[in-house]
């Protein structure tokens, strides 16, 4: 299976279990790895035979900016389902970064990574 990756998609969301997270929001960062067969697109040099990663990026940002959820696990699942709606995408790995998570000790990042497929 071939891979198309999008790294560092940024969007402001209002996800979290604490009232201040829901009120103030924060930046979330998303990395995607889409699994698909790119041979038909490459053979014909045809965008219609692969995934349009620009559209995927816009849809992922819309999910992050959309309805708030408590957990980044839930957010990752919603993003994965949006990616799998694209016909050629057979598998997706989603990493959601929450670099401004409300943690009381020094840290660089909090992430959740999930992998989902059509099977």
Looking at 10, 49, 85, 98, which residue is catalytic? Answer: 98
85 is catalytic: no
Q: Which residues pair with 36 in a beta bridge?
A: 2
pLDDT bin (cut points 50, 70, 90) of residue 119 is confident
The pair of three-digit structure tokens given for residue 3, joined into one six-digit string: 């891979």
- Residue 20 in tokens: 């201040």
* Degrees, nearest 5: CA angle 11-72-23: 60
Strand partners of residue 113: 95
Tokens read off for 9: 């998609």
pTM of the model: 0.96
Alpha-helical runs (H) found in the chain: 19-24, 39-44, 53-65, 72-84
Mean pLDDT value of segment 79-107: 97
Query: β-pairing, 2-13 with 111-117?
Result: unpaired
Domain ranges for the chain, please list them: 1-115
The fold adopted by the segment(s) 1-115 is: GTP Cyclohydrolase I, domain 2 (3.30.1130)
Q: Give the C-alpha separation, 76 to 97, whole Å.
A: 10
pLDDT level of residue 50 (50, 70, 90 thresholds): very high
């Amino acid at each position: 299976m071939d891979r198309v990756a999008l790294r560092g998609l940024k969007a402001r969301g209002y996800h979290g279990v604490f009232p201040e997270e829901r009120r103030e929001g924060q930046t979330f960062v998303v990395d995607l790895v889409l699994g698909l067969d790119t041979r038909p697109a490459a053979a014909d040099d045809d965008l219609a035979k692969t995934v349009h990663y620009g559209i995927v990026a816009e849809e992922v940002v819309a999910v992050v900016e959309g309805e708030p959820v408590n957990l980044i696990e839930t957010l990752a699942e919603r993003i994965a389902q949006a990616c799998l709606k694209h016909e050629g995408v057979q598998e997706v790995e989603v990493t959601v970064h929450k670099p401004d998570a409300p943690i009381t000790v020094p840290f660089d990042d909090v992430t959740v990574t999930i992998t989902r497929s059509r099977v």
